[in-house]
Amino acid sequence: MPEDLPPGQPVSPDTTFTLHPDEQSAREGTFDEYLEYVLLVENTVRGLSKGAPVEFRGVRLGTVASVPWNFTAPQPDDRDRLAIPVLIRIEPQRLGVDKLDLDDWRERFDRLFGLGLRASLKSGSLLTGALFVDLTFDDQRAGEHKAETFAGRTVFPTTSTGLAQIQSQVTALLDKLNALEVAPILTGLEDNLTTSKAMLEEVRKLTASMQSLLDDPGTRELPGSLNATLKELQGTLEGLSADSPAYRELTDTLDQVERLMRDLQPAARKISEDPRALLFDSIDAEDPTPRAPDTRSQP
């Protein structure tokens, strides 16, 4: 018994067994209870073959039974494009389920369809181009499921493959580009180019003027003149240093002026208090009081 399969029920007497050519065929033969659904694929099915796996996030849940299947059967009226019918089988026994109720599983999938469960074709090998059926949830399609049947089988809702989605996006982008008003954009670009050319011409003229200025002999002699002026200024500043004679003479003169100002401070204070001090030597005595003449001394 395979190690990855649960033990089965005891075999009844006179049970008939099917002989398979290899172990893989024998394993596949054990999944004898399944649900059949039809995929209506609107894209190419090149690379999808009978026996390809049906997977959900990397876990195999079923098998492709036929590609195409019942191609001449009438398709649903609400479909605008001719779709390729692909028959698949959902095999719950691959999950190790002991007690299997297919009706219960069918109801489960009906609920999952309403939650956004969709089937799409994915590349299984870049070298061989083989495809497999991938089941995934599309949140944007949740609640949009409408029950359909094809040739007596329930239709498993599908979504576009990765390549088809890219083609749809490119088509939408081209439609947006075609809807753009290109003429105003080109006019704006032309105006910008004209402005850029005028600006480049101004830059060229400015560069030529700067080159002429640099080529002028007077400009070339300017660094030498600046050096001479700097040397003279440096000599002047050195003459005003603390150790130079001019600095010492200036310091002595300032000291003399300071002493003179100190000597003049008392006189200035006195004049400020009584301006008469400028006319009289001393103003400490009081002014004399005039008297009347003495008549007794006269004859």
Residues 56 and 109 in one domain: yes
Does position 291 have pLDDT exceeding 70, yes or no? Answer: no
User: Does residue 113 share a domain with residue 53?
Assistant: yes
Query: Is 192 part of a structural domain of the chain?
Result: yes
Residue 158 lies in a domain: yes
In a domain, 260, yes or no: no
Same domain? For 154 and 102 the reply is yes
Which contiguous run of DSSP H or E holds residue 299? none
| 136 beta partners | 118
Would you say 96 and 59 are in contact if contact means Cβ atoms under 8 Å apart?
no
Nearest to 151, CA basis, from 261, 69, 243: 69
Better pLDDT: 254 or 180: 254
Q: Domain span at residue 206?
A: 182-239
Q: pTM for this one?
A: 0.49
Q: Answer yes or no: do 193 and 141 share one domain.
A: no
Q: Is residue 49 part of a domain?
A: yes
CA–CA gap between residue 84 and residue 27 (Å, rounded): 29
Last residue of a domain, one of 197, 219, 239: 239
* CB atoms closer than 10 angstroms to residue 62: 23
What are the pLDDT digits (tens) for 146-195? 888 898 899 999 987 655 556 556 767 777 777 776 777 888 888 888 88
* Spatial distance between the Cα atoms of 33 and 189, rounded to a whole number of angstroms: 68
- For residue 73, is it within any domain? yes
140, 36: one domain: yes
- Location of structure tokens 């195999």: 60
Nearest partner of 41 among 62, 63, 66, judged by Cα: 66
pLDDT for 59 beyond 60: yes
* 17 located within any domain: no
Phi, psi values for residue 190, rounded to 5°: -65, -40
Q: Same domain, yes or no, for 195 and 66?
A: no
Residue 278 domain-assigned (yes or no): no
pLDDT by residue (tens digit) across 22-39?
A: 666 556 656 778 899 999
Which residue type does 255 have?
A: D
Same domain, 81 and 141: yes
Mean pLDDT of the residues in the chain: 79
Residue 131 · residue 163 · CB < 8 Å: no
pLDDT at 283 over 70: no
Is residue 277 assigned to a domain?
Answer: no
118-133 burial code (b ≥16 CB/10 A, e <16): bbbbeebeeeeeebbb
Looking at the structure of the chain, the number of domains it has is 2
The pLDDT > 90 percentage for the chain reads 19
